[in-house]
Structure 1
């Protein structure tokens, strides 16, 4: 394997070479905690948003599940994804 490929998202599941040195285990822990916090915040907000809208007579759960973003929205999604990934990489490498 020669690294991740855009057409095969699973290609990154088993990257080549050493990912972390033993002295980076604390960085891994910080990265996992950062991801867990982010997931909790997003999950809470999503549930609250769906509940509030449902109480107002707007059931969006299925619409959200089947939504296909246009180019502008996809760019925003991609930018946010990149920011999250860079934050996690920073935690893993010990960058401040």
Structure 2
């Protein structure tokens, strides 16, 4: 199975729940509950694609900062459940 992309999934989750203006802990609780359920439902042969948004400048708007922080948390939770994690930068595959 190929899941492309966790960032798009995260945006849909926050949009659907109308949480962009909610307090950060409320959003984090909602997102971690759903991401943990998704991790538990994954099969053995899954490729997950995601964005790395934490390596750039700090976003100007609250929603951008919230997304950056949430995606970092989601990426960590999914990565913890994986046997292998790779980061692709400039066409180079880095094993994490």
Would you call these one fold, judging by a TM-score over 0.5?
no
Q: Higher helix proportion, which one? A: 1
TM-score, with length taken from structure 1: 0.27
Q: Higher strand proportion, which one? A: 2
